Amino acid sequence: MNKTIYIFYPIIALLFCSSCSSKQKDAKSYLSAAREFYQSGNYESAKLQIDSIKIKFPKAFDEIKEGHMLMQQIRTSENQRNIAYCDSMLQVTNAAIEKAMLAFSLQKDPQYQEIGNYIPKLTPSTQLFTRNTLRSGVSEDGKIYLESIVVGQNIGHQQVRASLSDGSYAETLPVTSDGLNYSFNTIEGRYEIVKYTGKDENGVSNFISLYKNEPITIQCIGRKTISFSLSKNEKEAISQSCELSSLLLERERLKLEKEKSETLLRYLQEKAADK
């Protein structure tokens, strides 16, 4: 009986050591795979391998520690790569913005405005109050807006609808705010101007840009409703505004993305220096 026990314990110990060794070997294989993925630039797969070590081998302390150190290297490389990508895309975007700007004039009074507006040259201000129209513009920070102008009629309009011949349409939300919806009279007649920005614009400019090669009817809706057709230049101007807005917003997104990566990179470098 005692002899059996003496033989049994060494076998258990041997099996336990073998199991530990096997687990350690498996943990090392995950770590090795993580390093290979890291070297090839496949950072997501490398991080998955490191996470698997912690989940599957919670007692493989050496491998977990090495995995943590490798994870810091991966995050550093990720942010360095992201900064380089943003720099590259900013060059492309800035070149596209510079080209698009040729079709616009900047309107800005530094005394009263912190942010000016880019106005398409196809819709000059000198022609604004000669007929009913829908014009567009883009603020310097990339926000598009539409302005409906009704000349010589008192309809109290608050919104516009852009329609195609097949009945499909897009319309703004009603705008009643002072400063965005106003009217005035001169010796030459009455004028109503409504400005649609942000959620109030409601995608009407994109709708017009998408269907700029088709006839588009604009309805100005208020106590009464009037209709007019957009000219080729008016549609093209709105399309140009959509493009410029998209480019300016993309530039701001890239700048923010780069700034986030630079902040994270500084944090990782400072953390590494403290060790």
Residue 13: predicted pLDDT? 43
Same domain, 116 and 53: no
Whether residues 159 and 189 share a domain: the answer is yes
Alpha-carbon gap, residue 100 to 206, rounded angstroms: 17
- In a domain, residue 269? The reply is no
Whether residue 111 sits in one domain with residue 44: no
Residues of the chain falling short of pLDDT 70: 1-25, 126-127, 275
- In a domain? residue 140: yes
Specify whether 207 is located in the same domain as 245. yes
Does one domain contain both 76 and 28?
Answer: yes
pLDDT, residue 24, reads 54
pLDDT at 14: 40
Residue 263 lies in a domain: no
In a domain, 201, yes or no: yes
Compute the Cα dihedral for 113, 119, 121, 127 and give only its sign.
Answer: negative
Whether 275 is covered by a domain: the verdict is: no
One domain for residues 174 and 70: no
CA dist 175 → 31, 41, 118, 142, 200 (Å): 60, 51, 22, 21, 7
Query: How many separate domains does the chain show?
Result: 2
Give the domain range for residue 197: 106-255
Residues 6+ apart with CB under 8 A from 97: 244, 247, 248, 251
87 and 174 inside one domain:
no
* Same domain membership, residue 63 and residue 158: no
Residues 134 and 215 in one domain: yes
Backbone angles phi, psi at 32, to 5 degrees: -65, -40
Which residue, 54, 76, 97, sits at the end of a domain? 97
**Would you say residue 24 lies in a domain?**
yes
185 and 236 both lie in a single domain: yes
Classify residue 35: in a domain, yes or no. yes
pTM, entire model: 0.84
